[in-house]
Amino acid sequence: MYELIQVSDNCYYIQSPAKIGLVRVSDDSAVLIDSGNDKDAGRKVLKILNQQGWRLNAIYNTHSNADHIGGNKYLQDKTGCVIYAPDIEAAFTRHTILEPSFLYGGYPPSNLCHKFLMAQESNAQVLSQDVLPEDWELIDLPGHFFDMAGFRTGDGIVYLADCLSSCETLEKYKFVFIFNVSAYLETLERVKAMSAKLFIPAHADASENIAALAQANIDSVNQNADLILRLCERPVSFDLLLQKIFNELKLNMTYEQHALAGSTVKSYLSWLNDSGKLRALINNNILVWERV
């Protein structure tokens, strides 16, 4: 873990729970794509940079989930590097209470205010094409979170952040986290058609061909949608629906999974409602969902 792996003349990634991109931009300097999940990850990344003799110029955050920005503060404090994140993600990076608040739907209980869902705050500026190295391309990857981005470097390496999951992750968790299902599917279709020297997803193996994995993620979304529709044949409240989903898929509920999977199921409900497949009703002062 935290092994530096070279994939082209200037591009690398650090093998970690969420892969960290590293690109050398001069003989003695480099930039990061994300920073890991906590201060300890930042410490390990800085050790790698120092071993290579590279100064850290900038961190480009793909999005603001805690496992991608957790090393920001440590690295910024130690190196003075600039941090960039896409638009609303920059606000979440500066004010990290927003992530558990969003997931919970109100002021979050202490059970959700830990490093896996709430990173240390760091001073992030808004990411745009003009702050990137001149041979990079900024890639919009909405769906997983509010305003996620990926990058194509001049070496032809594409860093894909969390826009898809490994088959193992899909099998284990079933409902991987999605904020906007419609946008997520559109992103996957675009990614499926991409070509690159190498694709580096944060939570799947690096690959020269990403199409099959993108399709597996699309198939997973459609299977989840079919399950929800089947479980909504009769009106059902959200909490009862979530219980039925976990029981059907033989998953174990935890506080974190209630927040993460629960938020994702709500996103599916919105998508299915807006596409005319579900409708929401108030029944005896309870909001219930019913298949149309």
CATH number assigned to the domain comprising residue 239: 1.10.10
DSSP state of 109: P
Model pLDDT, residue 265: 98
CA angle in degrees (0–180, nearest 5) for 20-22-28:
150
Q: Which of 147, 162, 177 is the last residue of a domain?
A: 162
Average pLDDT of the chain, as a whole number:
97
Domain co-membership, 231 together with 136:
no
**Three-class secondary structure of residue 124 per DSSP:** strand
Model pLDDT, residue 12: 98
Average pLDDT of span 69-97? 98
Domain co-membership, 136 together with 245:
no
- Counting other chains too, the contacts that 115-118 makes at CB distance below 8 Å and 24 or more residues apart are 115/37, 115/38, 115/66, 115/70, 116/37, 116/66, 116/67, 116/256, 117/66, 117/256, 117/259, 118/66
Number of Cβ atoms within 10 Å of the Cβ of 226: 10
Distance between CA atoms of 181 and 221, rounded to whole angstroms? 8
Distance between CA atoms of 7 and 9, rounded to whole angstroms? 7
Number of independent structural domains in the chain: 2
Distance between CA atoms of 151 and 129, rounded to whole angstroms? 10
- Domain annotation covers residue 234: yes
Model pLDDT, residue 1: 86
Domain co-membership, 233 together with 155:
no
- Domain annotation covers residue 82: yes
Number of Cβ atoms within 10 Å of the Cβ of 252: 6
Domain co-membership, 109 together with 241:
no
Domain co-membership, 9 together with 112:
yes
Domain co-membership, 233 together with 149:
no
Domain co-membership, 121 together with 260:
no
Domain co-membership, 152 together with 240:
no
Domain co-membership, 36 together with 131:
yes
- Domain annotation covers residue 181: no
Model pLDDT, residue 222: 98
| Strands of 34-166, DSSP E | 55-60, 82-85, 124-126, 137-140, 149-152, 157-161
- Give the model confidence (pLDDT) of 15-72 as tens digits: 999 999 999 999 999 999 999 999 999 999 999 999 999 999 999 999 999 999 999 9
**Three-class secondary structure of residue 192 per DSSP:** helix
**CATH code for the domain in which residue 41 is found:** 3.60.15.10
Distance between CA atoms of 66 and 187, rounded to whole angstroms? 22
Distance between CA atoms of 117 and 120, rounded to whole angstroms? 10
Q: What domain range includes position 142?
A: 3-162
Q: Which of 138, 162, 186 is the last residue of a domain?
A: 162
Residue type for 66, please? A
Q: Which of 162, 179, 206 is the last residue of a domain?
A: 162
Domain co-membership, 104 together with 19:
yes
Confidence of residue 212 (pLDDT cuts 50, 70, 90): very high
Contacts with 177 (C-beta within 8 Å, 6 or more apart), sequence order: 144, 162, 260, 261, 263, 264
Domain co-membership, 135 together with 16:
yes
- Domain annotation covers residue 211: no
- Domain annotation covers residue 195: no
- Give the model confidence (pLDDT) of 180-196 as tens digits: 999 999 999 999 999 99
- Domain annotation covers residue 191: no
**Three-class secondary structure of residue 193 per DSSP:** coil
Distance between CA atoms of 149 and 240, rounded to whole angstroms? 35
On the question of pLDDT at 111 being above 90, the answer is yes
**Three-class secondary structure of residue 145 per DSSP:** coil
Sign of CA dihedral 266, 267, 273, 277: negative
Domain co-membership, 148 together with 234:
no
- Domain annotation covers residue 212: no
- Domain annotation covers residue 118: yes
Q: What are phi and psi of 209, to 5 degrees?
A: -130, 115
HEC sequence for 4-54: EEECCCCEEEEECCCCEEEEEEECCEEEEECCCCCHHHHHHHHHHHHHHCC
